[in-house]
Structure 1
């Protein structure tokens, strides 16, 4: 089945480059473009894409606000599109906001074409796409914050430790690999599990910990001491 993609970026040359990368893949197809957040919202509701590739910095309505409006205003019964945010390291505050808004993935603008295509497929399949470098940067940024200020995390450190202690040994292994930035396929290879089994375990972990996505799980694992403070990914 072809994955339908909406591109949202204020630079026409960037949109053209993204379209060229996406449309040359047989299983991907660009169904529309938007030059700002407002256009992205309108196009998303009109075109019903599977994935929105969303720049965060656009004139007028930002990509963060557009993401929020698309996901909160999406009418049932059809599921909303997955939002893949394009970001750079010097815009961490936008990444944090996009996470809170419900974005499913974060990709650097200078990522290789194959990585963009892979990220679109991953988020279309319902899995978060988090490059290890982006995950590590987020963890480092949040490391000094009280847990109650972390987006989506439970309010207290003792409570978080108790929640983590409720996980099984295998779930802890999966959580640590999620925190390292590994995909479900990479985790499956590392632990000798099927990808479907890993996906099920990740969903169970998020539910037990009261979290929305893998970045929040990575932050929580870091704060709980499951990873060294300066671990490289």
Structure 2
């Protein structure tokens, strides 16, 4: 069972999210916070697995609350919660700020119930999840400037440590697929996909799936639409 804390300043939104999530047998809403300050306090008190965090809230913003929860976690014997940022705005400044604060995912409020439930599961499992439109814009931002990860002559060589199967996985990570979707696409187990993603990150010296997606485009493994 994945324990979820909802943080949003609009009561109607909190009620709608709760009604949608409790229909899933593997999701349990353990609390609702009306602002960033409450989110920080309730996270420490309830120790949820995932916090669905709105960006724009009175007092502490969702980004500020995320940073405080993850940097000042008071429980040494309990893992820090994962944070899934949920907003109506797919602006780059929010994406970058949320990722810098340590959020594990960024979804739009107009996502379908199935997409949101899957994002919570993915983030709870320790993976990253970005809304497809956010992923495209984030990758486009990095692709528009010289790479901070690779110099041009090193790009093809940088992929050399990866096996053919790991390259297949990297392509699908860059396309925004979850581990479950990649497993179905490549006829692998989710455990097998997760281990391959971890090896990809280690071998390429990357921190997370977002960096892996940027790397795939920047190295020429994929091309941006229209590129």
* C-alpha distance in structure 1 between counterparts of 2:153 and 2:70, whole Å: 32
Q: CA deviation at 1:205?
A: 1.0
* C-alpha distance in structure 2 between counterparts of 1:173 and 1:157, whole Å: 22
* C-alpha distance in structure 1 between counterparts of 2:20 and 2:36, whole Å: 22
Change (3 A) 1:198 1:162: same
Which residue is equivalent to 1:100? Answer: 100
Change (3 A) 1:29 1:201: same
Structure 1 window deviating more from structure 2 (200-209 vs 71-80): it is 71-80
* C-alpha distance in structure 1 between counterparts of 2:210 and 2:163, whole Å: 20
Which residue is equivalent to 1:51? Answer: 50
Q: CA deviation at 1:159?
A: 5.7
Which residue is equivalent to 1:219? Answer: 214
* C-alpha distance in structure 2 between counterparts of 1:172 and 1:189, whole Å: 16
Structure 1: tracts of 5 or more residues without a match: 149-153
Superposed, 1:5-154 pairs within 5 Å as: 5-74=4-73, 75-148=75-148, 154=149
User: Does the 8 Å contact 1:56/1:86 carry over to 2?
Assistant: yes
The yes-or-no answer on 1:189 pairing with 2:178 is no
TM-score by length of 1: 0.88
Change (3 A) 1:231 1:210: farther
Task: Number of aligned residue pairs: give it.
Answer: 226
* C-alpha distance in structure 2 between counterparts of 1:67 and 1:82, whole Å: 9
Which residue is equivalent to 1:199? Answer: 194
- CA offsets per residue over residues 171-212 of structure 1, 9 Å max, x none? 111111100111112211222211110010001111222222
* C-alpha distance in structure 1 between counterparts of 2:225 and 2:182, whole Å: 21
SS of the counterpart of 1:228?
A: coil
Structure 2: tracts of 5 or more residues without a match: none
Change (3 A) 1:82 1:191: same
Change (3 A) 1:157 1:93: farther
Q: CA deviation at 1:20?
A: 1.0
SS of the counterpart of 1:147?
A: coil
SS of the counterpart of 1:20?
A: helix
TM-score by length of 2: 0.90
Structure 1 window deviating more from structure 2 (112-121 vs 194-203): it is 112-121
User: Does the 8 Å contact 1:56/1:87 carry over to 2?
Assistant: yes
Change (3 A) 1:89 1:200: same
Which residue is equivalent to 1:151? Answer: none
Structure 1 window deviating more from structure 2 (72-81 vs 211-220): it is 72-81
* C-alpha distance in structure 2 between counterparts of 1:210 and 1:73, whole Å: 27
* C-alpha distance in structure 1 between counterparts of 2:161 and 2:89, whole Å: 34
